[in-house]
C-alpha cells in the first residue's frame, strides 16, 4: 500500500473537494485524482461519489477513513519513535547501585535522569554487592552499575568517577565514640561488622587488608549483605564498621561517624558491558557520570566531613 495514496484519500475525504485537497497536499489536482483512482483500483471498490458540485464518501470509503487515518498516525509515530531511539532519547534501563550510593545518590540520580532523559524509563536496584552487580551486568539483568572497584571482568567497561573517604561507624555509647579521630590500629581489639566475605564483597577485602596492613587480624563478629543492616547492627551496639563516607546519608540514630586515619579512600566507578552500544544506554552513562561528579562537587563545597548521627 502506497502511503501517498492514503494521504491523498484522507485529504479528499476531509476536504470533500479535490481542489482544496490538492492545495493542502501542495500538489496539482490531476496527480491527486490519479492517486485516488489508483487506490480504488487497488482496493477494488469506489471510495467516493463525484458530481460536478460535491465529493462524498461511499459507504466503503466512510468505513475505510478511520483505518486510513490510524495507519498514517501509527506510521508517523513509528518514525518519531525510531528517531528518538536513534538519538538515545527512548528506551528502558536498570541501574544497579551499591549500598552507599543507594542512600546518598539515588534520589539525585532519579531526578537527574528523569530531567535529562525523560523518554528513557529507568529502574533501580539498590543495596547490591559488587559481585552481584557484575553477575547482573553480564547476564543483562542490569544495564549500568555504580560499584566499588577493583573489578576484574574483561567484558566490562569501567570508568572511575570519584574517591570516597573511608570512615568508622561506631555505636554512640562505644568507648571510641568519645574520640575525635581514630586510626586503623585502634581496631585491633574491637568487634567489627563487615560486608559478606563469603560473597567476595569489595569492602570485606578492603577492611581485612587494612587490618592486616596494620599488623593484626580483624576480629569479625558479623558479616552482612546490605549496608543498611550493617549500620543498623552498629546502632545496636554489636560492633563498629569501616564504611565509605556517603553511608552517613542513611542517618540512623545511635551511630557516630569518625575520621579513620590511615584508611584512605575507596573508588566509585560506573560499569557496563563494553559491547553495549545502544544510544540510550550511552547517553544514560554520560548522564549518570555527570550527576555523580556534580554530587562530589556539591559535597566538597558543603564540607562533607564526618559528623555524629
CATH classification at residue 262: 3.40.190.290
Claim to verify: residue 62 and residue 200 sit in the same structural domain: no
Look at residue 309 and tell me whether its pLDDT is greater than 50.
no
Residues 110-166 have pLDDT tens digits of: 999 999 999 899 999 999 999 999 999 999 999 999 999 999 999 999 999 999 999
Claim to verify: residue 141 and residue 7 sit in the same structural domain: no
Q: Specify the pLDDT at position 106.
A: 92
Q: Specify the pLDDT at position 243.
A: 96
Residue at which a domain ends, from 36, 65, 86: 86
Look at residue 60 and tell me whether its pLDDT is greater than 60.
yes
Residues 25-36 have pLDDT tens digits of: 999 999 999 999
Claim to verify: residue 195 and residue 242 sit in the same structural domain: yes
What values do phi and psi take at 225, rounded to 5? -95, -30
Look at residue 75 and tell me whether its pLDDT is greater than 90.
no
Claim to verify: residue 138 and residue 205 sit in the same structural domain: yes
Rounded distance between C-alpha atoms, residue 15 and residue 1, angstroms: 22
How confident is residue 307, by pLDDT bands cut at 50, 70 and 90? very low
What values do phi and psi take at 157, rounded to 5? -90, 125
Residue the block writes with cell 492514503? 6
Claim to verify: residue 62 and residue 148 sit in the same structural domain: no
Claim to verify: residue 194 and residue 221 sit in the same structural domain: yes
Output the domain CATH number for residue 66: 1.10.10.10
Residue 9, CA distances (Å) to 36, 77, 256 in order: 6, 20, 74
Over residues 87-100, mean pLDDT:
87
Over residues 254-258, mean pLDDT:
96
Report how many domains make up the chain: 2
Say if CB 89 and CB 117 are below 8 A apart: yes
Rounded distance between C-alpha atoms, residue 239 and residue 224, angstroms: 12
Average predicted confidence (pLDDT) for the chain: 91
Beta pairing class for 91-97 and 144-148: parallel
Q: Specify the pLDDT at position 28.
A: 95
- Domain span at residue 283 reads 88-309
Three cell numbers, residue 275: 559491547
* 16 or 88, greater pLDDT: 16
Residue 303, CA distances (Å) to 7, 106, 309 in order: 63, 20, 16
Q: Specify the pLDDT at position 82.
A: 79
Rounded distance between C-alpha atoms, residue 259 and residue 182, angstroms: 7
Three cell numbers, residue 279: 544510544
Residues 1-52 have pLDDT tens digits of: 789 999 999 999 999 999 999 999 999 999 999 999 999 999 999 999 987 7
Claim to verify: residue 296 and residue 211 sit in the same structural domain: yes
Look at residue 208 and tell me whether its pLDDT is greater than 70.
yes
Look at residue 209 and tell me whether its pLDDT is greater than 90.
yes
Q: Specify the pLDDT at position 51.
A: 79
Q: Specify the pLDDT at position 250.
A: 87
Claim to verify: residue 54 and residue 99 sit in the same structural domain: no
Q: Specify the pLDDT at position 229.
A: 94
Does a cis peptide bond (omega within 30 degrees of 0) precede residue 106? no
How confident is residue 308, by pLDDT bands cut at 50, 70 and 90? very low
Rounded distance between C-alpha atoms, residue 143 and residue 270, angstroms: 11
Amino acid at each position: 500500500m502506497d502511503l501517498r495514496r492514503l494521504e491523498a484519500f484522507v485529504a479528499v475525504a476531509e476536504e470533500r473537494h479535490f481542489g482544496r485537497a490538492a492545495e493542502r497536499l501542495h500538489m496539482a489536482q490531476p496527480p491527486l485524482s490519479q492517486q485516488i483512482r489508483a487506490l480504488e483500483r487497488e482496493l477494488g471498490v469506489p471510495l467516493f461519489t463525484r458530481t460536478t458540485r460535491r465529493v462524498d464518501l461511499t459507504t466503503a470509503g466512510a468505513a475505510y477513513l478511520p483505518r486510513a487515518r490510524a495507519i498514517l498516525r501509527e506510521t508517523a509515530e513509528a518514525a518519531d519513535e525510531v528517531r528518538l531511539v536513534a538519538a538515545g532519547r527512548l528506551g528502558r534501563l536498570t541501574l544497579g547501585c551499591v549500598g552507599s550510593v543507594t542512600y546518598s545518590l539515588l534520589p539525585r540520580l532519579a531526578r537527574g535522569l528523569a530531567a535529562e532523559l525523560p523518554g528513557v524509563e529507568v529502574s533501580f536496584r539498590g543495596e547490591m554487592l559488587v559481585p552481584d552487580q557484575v553477575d547482573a551486568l553480564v547476564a543483562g539483568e542490569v544495564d549500568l552499575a555504580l560499584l566499588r572497584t577493583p573489578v576484574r571482568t574483561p567484558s566490562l567497561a569501567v570508568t572511575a568517577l570519584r574517591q570516597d573517604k573511608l570512615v568508622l561507624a561506631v555505636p554512640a555509647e562505644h568507648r571510641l565514640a568519645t574520640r575525635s579521630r581514630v586510626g586503623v590500629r585502634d581496631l585491633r581489639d574491637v568487634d567489627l561488622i563487615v560486608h559478606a566475605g563469603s560473597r567476595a564483597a569489595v569492602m570485606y577485602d578492603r577492611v581485612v587488608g587494612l587490618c592486616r596492613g596494620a599488623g593484626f587480624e580483624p576480629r569479625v563478629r558479623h558479616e552482612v549483605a546490605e549496608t543498611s543492616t550493617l549500620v543498623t547492627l552498629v546502632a545496636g551496639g554489636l560492633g563498629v564498621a569501616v564504611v565509605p563516607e556517603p553511608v552517613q546519608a542513611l542517618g540512623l540514630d545511635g551511630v557516630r561517624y569518625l575520621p579513620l586515619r590511615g584508611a584512605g579512600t575507596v573508588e566509585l566507578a560506573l560499569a557496563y558491558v563494553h559491547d553495549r552500544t545502544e544510544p540510550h544506554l550511552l547517553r544514560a552513562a554520560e548522564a549518570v557520570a555527570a550527576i555523580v561528579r556534580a554530587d562530589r562537587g556539591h559535597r566538597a563545597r558543603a564540607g562533607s566531613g564526618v559528623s555524629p548521627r
